[in-house]
Amino acid sequence: MSILQAPRGTADVLPSQSSKWRYIERVFHETAAVFGFREIRFPTFEYTELFSRGVGETTDVVQKEMYTFEDRGGRSITLRPEGTASTVRALLQDGLHNEPMPLRLYYLISCFRGEKPQAGRLREFHQFGVELFGAASPAADVEAISLAATVFDRLGVSGLRLEINSIGCADCRKAYHEALRAYFSAHSAELCETCRSRLEHNPMRILDCKSPVCADIAKGAPAVLDYICDDCRSHFEKVKALLGSLGIAFTVNPKIVRGLDYYTRTVFEFTDPVLGLTACGGGRYDGLVEQLGGPALPALGFGMGVERLMMLMEARGCAFPEESGIEVYFAPLGEAASLKATSIVSKFRAEGIAAECDLTGRSAKAQMKYADKLGAAFTVVLGENELVEGTAVLKNMKTGELLRIALDDAIIDTVGAALKRTAIDSLTAAAEKL
């Protein structure tokens, strides 16, 4: 192990990629806002019991994947593996459940799961999530799905497949659990050790097992849609009708159960049939708030992985906005010129113009090369003669055009006007190409 190697399952986001992340995050924030969702932030770690009770004792997340440790006070602490349980905890602790309903919340967080790293799945990953409380209607389910679809549309991620299912309510699932126990009991000797323990407590978890043997056995298991009650079936039919009215294509997949115990009724996933990745998953969890000590409050939400979304965008060649860099580079020649340039750069930055000044004493030629690498639109050359004359030389880095300008308080307006002309020329050229 080397301290100069990042821990397995983690990744650095380098400057060459960070602008892409900011773009995706901006789309998250803007889309959530137009749907009426407000941002919530909560701690990176919680008491372990919150996740064991909220996510479910029989889930892979709780049994195999959580990063859990004891703090100095001997309390069991866990790095958050997902965002829903923390949101519900904050809802109850901070009294948000007393606000007018429905309550729309979203977050953009890092999560931690100790699973085997693979394409688009890291041990520290980042997630955009939304949670909607206080609305039991099928329209709320469709609003969450529509929000996710809108994010994909705005980012140019096409070709995803929306799959939906209903896993019923706690009451109608009792009969389904019995049917699953009867089916899987006949194959108990073939099931993995984990699934054999699930057989009694939560047989639905077997349907989500990653073991190839268990997955193959699960193909012949009873379908949950054959066991849901009339109310749950009516709810699901209305979800399908509303999706159709919005023009959102979907496929009913009776095998979707999601990997967390808190889900009820509608569950859904957006999948990429080419890469075989799940880009987004979610559903209802109407009993979770009450289960964690709050009032009976219907709720639903979804999680969308940023790393996977980045993979999907790059695989499709989706366009990312060009990163805005340094607009003006000041190339001083000599100590006196450096002092003057430093003062001017400070004024440019105060006006919101991205400016940089040489800090290493490079030669004039080296500074021009550096300014070009930075992608600066203009370079302001300032030497001893210019200081005496009260002028500077403005160089257009794209055309090579040189212009002598006054070295006074109006320099910001002069350079700002040049930047504006360059921007207009770029837009005109782009329009002509179209």
pLDDT for 7-32, tens place per residue?
Answer: 898 999 998 899 999 999 999 999 99
Does the pLDDT of residue 130 top 50, yes or no? yes
The predicted structure's pLDDT at residue 112: 94
Longest dimension (CA), the chain: 94
The predicted structure's pLDDT at residue 425: 55
The predicted structure's pLDDT at residue 423: 57
Name the average pLDDT for the chain: 90
d(CA 151, CA 17): 20
Question: What is the model's pTM?
Answer: 0.87
Does the pLDDT of residue 259 top 70, yes or no? no
Q: Which residues in the chain are classed under CATH 3.40.50.800?
A: 328-420
Q: Is 243 left (phi over 0), alpha (psi -120 to 50) or beta?
A: alpha
pLDDT, tens digit, 9 for 90 and up, residues 159-209: 999 999 999 998 888 888 888 889 988 888 888 888 888 887 788 888 878
Considering the chain, what percentage of its residues have pLDDT values greater than 90? 65
Average pLDDT over residues 311-325: 88
Q: Which residues in the chain are classed under CATH 3.30.930.10?
A: 15-172+228-316
Name the fold adopted by 15-172+228-316.
BirA Bifunctional Protein; domain 2 (3.30.930)
d(CA 250, CA 38): 28
**Which of the pair, 296 or 64, is modelled with greater confidence?**
296
Reported confidence tier of residue 58, pLDDT bands at 50, 70, 90: low
Lowest mean pLDDT among 99-108, 111-120, 251-260, 417-426: 417-426
Beta carbons of 77 and 48 less than 8 angstroms apart: yes
Lowest mean pLDDT among 32-36, 102-106, 379-383: 379-383
pLDDT, tens digit, 9 for 90 and up, residues 198-252: 887 788 888 878 788 988 898 888 888 999 999 999 999 999 999 999 999 999 9
Q: Give CA separation, 254 vs 111, 225, 251, 376, 402, in Å.
A: 28, 7, 10, 55, 68
**Residue of 11, 5, 7 whose CA lies nearest to 110:** 11
CATH for the stretch 328-420:
3.40.50.800
Lowest mean pLDDT among 134-138, 308-312, 315-319, 415-419: 415-419
**Which of the pair, 356 or 61, is modelled with greater confidence?**
356
Does the pLDDT of residue 434 top 60, yes or no? no
CA atoms within a 13 Å half-sphere pointing along the CA-CB vector of 100: 0
Beta carbons of 224 and 208 less than 8 angstroms apart: no
Does the pLDDT of residue 303 top 80, yes or no? yes
The predicted structure's pLDDT at residue 218: 87
